[in-house]
C-alpha cells in the first residue's frame, strides 16, 4: 500500500512537467487527462475467460485486440483487420499511409486518431468501450522535410482484464521520465523495431528495458535481418520466444514472470 502511494506521488510530480495537467488515475497508476494487407487472414473467435485478452498480429503495425467482453480493437488501422472483421474501435497514426485510412468503414463505432486533424493542440482520448478503457499519450514525429511535428503520434493504452496493453505507434524519440510516468506500468507493449523509420534499434531496446513490460510484441519490421538485430539487442534483459501462431492469449496469471519478447508471425 505504501509503495503504491509513493508511485502515485512520484507519477503526479513528474506529470507536472507535461502540458495539460491530468486528473484521473487508471489501473496502470498513470495520471490521465480527464477529458471527454494481411492476405486472406481469417479471424477465429473463441470464448475468453474473464481475465483473458486475445491479441492477433494482422501485419505491419496492426493488431486485433479482443476483450473478454467481446470488444474488438484494431491498432494502426488501414482498412483491414482480418477477412470480414469490423472492429468496434480502431486507432490510427498518420506518420505514413500504412498506419491510417481516411476512409474507415462507417460501421466502426469509434475511430481514434493519434493526431489532431483540427488544430495544433494534442488529441486527447479517454474512452470506455464495454470492458476496455482506452487512452492515449502523444509524442512527436519527424516529418519528411526534417522538421518535427509536435504531438503527431499517439501511444495508445488499453486497460482491460486487469492488464495494461500499450501500442507505441510510430515512435520517433525515446521516452523520458515524464512520458513514462503518464504511461504508467504496462504489462504488454507492441513496439516498432524497424530501426530506421522509427527509433534506432538500440534506442528502442533501451526504451523497452526502461518500460519493463512483461511481454513485448515486435511489429513494423521489414525482414529477418531487421528483426534479428532487435532480438540481439534485447537478449540478456529479455527472454526471446518465436511463436508459430499469429495469435496469443494473455492474462495477468499467465504472462511470463521474466520480461519476454514473443515474435508473432506477420501476414
C-alpha cell at 191: 513496439
Task: Note the pLDDT of residue 267.
Answer: 55
Task: Kindly give the parts of the chain with pLDDT less than 70.
Answer: 1-27, 29-46, 95-96, 98-100, 143-146, 172, 195-196, 198, 267
Query: What percent of the chain has pLDDT above 90?
Result: 43
Mean of per-residue pLDDT scores for the chain? 80
Task: Note the pLDDT of residue 224.
Answer: 85
Long-range contacts of 75-79 (CB under 8 A, 24+ apart): 75/156, 75/167, 75/190, 76/100, 76/167, 76/169, 77/101, 77/104, 78/37, 79/103, 79/104, 79/105
Question: What's the pTM value of the predicted model, to 2 decimals?
Answer: 0.81
Task: Note the pLDDT of residue 154.
Answer: 86
Classify domain 2-263 by CATH number.
Answer: 3.60.15.10
Q: The cell 531496446 sits on which residue?
A: 205
Task: Note the pLDDT of residue 21.
Answer: 32
The ranges assigned to domains in the chain are: 2-263
**β-bridge pairing 239-242 and 110-113:** unpaired
Task: Note the pLDDT of residue 37.
Answer: 35
Task: Note the pLDDT of residue 113.
Answer: 92
Rounded to 5°, the CA angle 121-124-125 comes to 160
Amino acid at each position: 500500500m505504501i509503495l503504491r502511494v509513493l508511485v502515485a506521488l512520484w507519477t503526479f510530480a513528474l506529470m507536472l512537467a507535461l502540458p495539460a495537467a491530468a486528473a484521473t488515475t487508471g489501473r496502470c497508476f498513470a495520471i490521465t487527462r480527464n477529458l471527454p494487407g494481411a492476405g486472406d487472414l481469417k479471424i477465429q473467435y473463441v470464448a475468453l475467460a474473464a481475465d483473458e485478452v486475445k491479441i492477433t498480429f494482422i501485419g505491419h503495425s496492426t493488431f486485433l485486440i479482443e476483450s473478454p467482453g467481446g470488444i474488438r480493437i484494431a491498432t494502426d488501422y488501414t482498412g483491414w483487420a482480418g477477412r470480414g472483421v469490423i472492429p468496434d474501435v480502431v486507432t490510427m497514426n498518420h506518420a505514413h499511409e500504412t498506419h491510417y485510412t481516411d476512409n474507415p468503414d462507417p460501421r466502426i463505432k469509434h475511430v481514434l486518431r493519434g493526431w489532431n486533424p483540427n488544430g495544433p493542440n494534442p488529441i486527447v482520448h479517454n474512452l470506455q468501450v464495454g470492458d476496455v478503457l482506452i487512452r492515449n499519450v502523444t509524442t512527436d514525429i519527424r516529418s519528411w522535410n526534417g522538421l518535427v511535428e509536435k504531438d503527431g503520434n499517439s501511444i495508445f493504452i488499453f486497460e482491460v482484464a486487469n492488464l495494461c496493453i500499450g501500442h507505441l505507434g510510430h515512435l520517433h524519440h525515446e521516452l523520458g521520465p515524464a512520458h513514462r510516468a503518464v504511461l504508467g506500468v504496462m504489462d504488454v507493449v507492441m513496439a516498432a523495431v524497424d530501426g530506421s523509420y522509427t527509433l534506432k534499434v538500440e534506442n528502442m531496446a533501451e526504451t523497452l528495458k526502461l518500460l519493463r513490460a512483461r511481454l513485448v510484441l515486435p511489429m513494423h519490421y521489414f525482414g529477418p535481418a531487421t528483426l534479428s538485430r532487435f532480438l540481439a539487442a534485447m537478449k540478456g534483459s529479455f527472454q526471446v520466444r518465436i511463436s508459430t501462431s499469429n495469435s496469443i492469449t494473455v492474462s495477468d496469471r499467465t504472462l511470463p514472470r521474466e520480461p519476454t519478447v514473443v515474435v508473432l508471425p506477420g501476414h
